[in-house]
Structure 1
Amino acid sequence: MKVISLNIGTKKTIQWKNKTVETGIFKYPVKTPIFLNTENVKNDTIVDKNNHGGINKAVYIYGENHYHYFKNLYPNLDWKHGIFGENITLKHLNETQIHIGEIYQLGEAQIQVTQPRLPCYKLGIRFNNQSIIKHFWNSTKSGVYFKVIKRGSVNIGDKLVLLHSAQENLTIAETYTLKKPK
């Protein structure tokens, strides 16, 4: 699993359902390395700190291999890496093979799997279509949140290397399925 895009966002204010909403979901590729801190990615904007960032959601990683599925559903979007609000886009990510608690090396950083991403209305804002929430829930293409155990820089081309397996724990896909609304 190799890093193909590093994505950073700034606060954006939009109108949604007659309300002013601030969000950091509009992330776009950057050419420079990013630095993973213990509670966030340096220079990335997190507006909703109750649901994003912090110790257990410091960095969000998504698989480019999932893009094709959603491009078929939403072909008219401007498809750039970061569209799912991810900080890092990997060449390949398989949520059915990544277990809660596993530890990985990524560039200079060491990161630990904590949970899947649960979609909210802001993903619908990013896609300009709230149907994405249902499509996202009906897949196991959730991406992965990580805590940062050892801070450090990540570059395009760095590989996600397993340091400590936790196969005794649920996978991200299994955890995601358990959290799915009924």
Structure 2
Amino acid sequence: MVDRQPVALDALLVGNLSPIDDRGTQSGIDKHPIYGSVQLGSTGFTGDHQGDLKRHGGVDKAVHHYPWDHYRAWTDEIGPLPLLKRPGAFGENLSTLGLTESDVAVGDRFRLGGALLEVSQGRQPCWKLNRRFDLPDMARRLQHTGRTGWYYRVIEGGLVSAGDRMHLVERRHPVWTIGRLWHFLYVDTLNRQALEEIANLAILPSGWREYAVKRLQTRKVEDWSRRLDGETTPVNG
């Protein structure tokens, strides 16, 4: 067992598909609280949807967690938008107070209700946040600040309810917090020692490790503009 106080799940949220732009691009980012028990399976909560399963959802992005801790900072920076009055603004499934990117590491396992979750990766913000907030640089703001949230894979499915407590039960890579991973992906981007560690961090999804491998090979950082600013042709997301 790990010596850390459990954190309450303040809100559990799911979302249906709806258009997010004038092209009719479908997205499940508009999530709303669910009360009562919800089944969590290997690819997410019953009733939760993603429009683009290539870039969202799947076993390594089954559950998205975004800290309520960040909402005050966003309100200070971009104003008291209605979206920021309740959890769900960032498309999160889980909302808590007391866990941020500096507290949570890749591979951390949490018992939540009847389920067991494992932190799989940080979030890479995309252009859908720009549409959701009606701010052309909202995705870039998330990436720049490191207030990105993170994803879980589901080790054991089960029923989860708002009000359940998250118990940290295992830490395998405590040095690799989501915040530290963010730093070397987006700030100190060509740090060879860190990139070598990331490339060999087997618990990370292969795509993340491939970023590190390519940077080591090319000494160049990938172009983020399409992901952050949007695409010129319709893509379901």
TM-score by length of 1: 0.91
The DSSP-based 3-state class of the residue aligned with 2:183 is helix
Residue 156 of structure 1 and its aligned partner are, at CA, apart by 1.5
- The structure with more radius of gyration: 2
The DSSP-based 3-state class of the residue aligned with 1:94 is coil
The one-letter amino acid of 2:140's match is K
The DSSP-based 3-state class of the residue aligned with 2:21 is strand
Measured in 2, the distance between the counterparts of 1:167 and 1:21 equals 37
1:26 maps to what in 2? 30
Task: Please provide the CA RMSD for this pair.
Answer: 1.6
Q: Comparing both chains, which one has the higher relative contact order based on Cα–Cα distances under 8 Å and sequence gaps of 6 or more?
A: 1
Residue 169 of structure 1 and its aligned partner are, at CA, apart by 4.7
Closer, same or farther: CA 20–109 of 1 in aligned 2, 3 Å? same
1:40 maps to what in 2? 44
The answer to whether residue 131 in structure 2 is matched with residue 128 in structure 1 is: no
2:197 maps to what in 1? none
After alignment, is 167-176 or 118-127 more displaced?
167-176
Measured in 1, the distance between the counterparts of 2:175 and 2:45 equals 26
1:179 maps to what in 2? 185
The DSSP-based 3-state class of the residue aligned with 2:147 is coil
The DSSP-based 3-state class of the residue aligned with 1:82 is coil
The answer to whether residue 203 in structure 2 is matched with residue 163 in structure 1 is: no
The DSSP-based 3-state class of the residue aligned with 1:20 is coil
Query: 8 Å contact 2:60–2:152 — kept in the other structure?
Result: yes
Q: As a proportion of its length, which structure holds more helix?
A: 2
Query: 8 Å contact 1:124–1:131 — kept in the other structure?
Result: yes
Q: As a proportion of its length, which structure holds more strand?
A: 1
Measured in 1, the distance between the counterparts of 2:136 and 2:34 equals 27
**1:100-155 deviation digits (Å, cap 9, x = unpaired):** 11111011100001001110001111111122112211222211100000001111
The answer to whether residue 47 in structure 2 is matched with residue 54 in structure 1 is: no
Residue 33 of structure 1 and its aligned partner are, at CA, apart by 2.5
2:100 maps to what in 1? 94
Query: 8 Å contact 2:21–2:131 — kept in the other structure?
Result: no
Query: 8 Å contact 1:109–1:149 — kept in the other structure?
Result: yes
| Structure 1, gaps ≥5 residues long | none
Superposed structure 1 runs of 4+ greater than 3 Å apart: none
Q: How many residues align?
A: 180
2:88 maps to what in 1? 82
Measured in 2, the distance between the counterparts of 1:166 and 1:14 equals 38
Q: How does 1:3-18 map to 2 (within 5 A)?
A: 3-16=9-22
Measured in 1, the distance between the counterparts of 2:160 and 2:35 equals 11
Closer, same or farther: CA 13–101 of 1 in aligned 2, 3 Å? same
2:157 maps to what in 1? 151
1:64 maps to what in 2? 68
Residue 15 of structure 1 and its aligned partner are, at CA, apart by 3.0
| Structure 2, gaps ≥5 residues long | 1-6, 188-220, 222-237
The answer to whether residue 119 in structure 2 is matched with residue 113 in structure 1 is: yes
